[in-house]
Structure 1
């Protein structure tokens, strides 16, 4: 049901999540010089070698896109849709926790006195979180409307 506004919210959240999965989400800097580029699945060291120490970021963010896609297609079960939106919100909060931990742990063990700097695509999960909350609100409003129509009959 693409005409429902919660479907559009979910679709926009999926797009934001996929963009975040594909782009650089941060870098490690040593004295203002970039030492490594951080992606959701790996980080690239100064030599150009990929290290897959940041895979938990991908493991936490990827299910949100999958769950949201599934949520669009279960439009008949609004209670389950609202529950899946809540799961996605929790996943994104977990992603930010893992994002912070990875930024601290990977930098400390690899180069010593480096500073982790997030880049602008790291904001996309927060935008997705807002969109999931808006979708959940619209789903619950639809459920309330359907229940009120059932009472009238």
Structure 2
């Protein structure tokens, strides 16, 4: 039963998570010029120097993507699949907490540095919504199976 709608939701959530892993999620600007680009794994400045201070955000999104892929193939056990969806929701909320902390921590330096999030920073939120929708569909399937078992 891999062709269920929750599989599509989870696959889309994984795609959004992986895209967020690969693209810049924020930009630090000073006097209107881009100074530092923030990725999930590192900070990159204009001189191509990398600082791996933001690795915890990467360490949260990689297991989320891996767990999302794994949960697609655990369709036989709907309860476990629903738990994995909720765990992914918690991981993505944790990612946003880390994102807020790092955007404040690295932007405090000189006072003229402004942080501007990119559109790719919203992708984990979209993935979170897809995981919630997948969990609802999984629970609806579970209720349907239980109702069919009661009839028998």
Shared fold, TM over 0.5: yes
Which residue is 2:54 aligned to? 54
For 2:111 and 2:39, the matched residues in 1 are separated by 20
**Which residues in structure 2 correspond to 1:80-99 (within 5 Å)?**
80-99=80-99
The answer as to whether partners of 1:26 and 1:116 remain within 8 angstroms in 2 is yes
Which residue is 2:147 aligned to? 148
Deviation at 1:108, TM superposition (A): 2.6
Which residue is 1:115 aligned to? 114
Deviations 1:54-87 (A, max 9, x none): 1111011111111111111111111111111001
Deviation at 1:112, TM superposition (A): 5.0
Which residue is 2:44 aligned to? 44
The answer as to whether partners of 1:53 and 1:106 remain within 8 angstroms in 2 is no
Matched, 1:7 2:24: no
Which residue is 1:70 aligned to? 70
The answer as to whether partners of 2:2 and 2:73 remain within 8 angstroms in 1 is no
The answer as to whether partners of 1:2 and 1:8 remain within 8 angstroms in 2 is no
The answer as to whether partners of 1:28 and 1:34 remain within 8 angstroms in 2 is yes
TM-score, normalising length from structure 2?
0.96
- Show structure 2 runs of 5+ residues with no match: none
For 1:136 and 1:3, the matched residues in 2 are separated by 15
* RMSD, aligned CA: 1.1
Deviation at 1:106, TM superposition (A): 2.1
SS at match of 2:108: helix
- Show structure 1 runs of 5+ residues with no match: none
Deviations 1:102-138 (A, max 9, x none): 11112335x5531111101111101000000000000
Question: Number of residue pairs matched?
Answer: 152
Matched, 1:132 2:131: yes
Which stretches of structure 1, 4 residues or more, deviate above 3 A after TM superposition? none
Which residue is 2:17 aligned to? 17
TM-score, normalising length from structure 1?
0.95
For 2:82 and 2:105, the matched residues in 1 are separated by 35
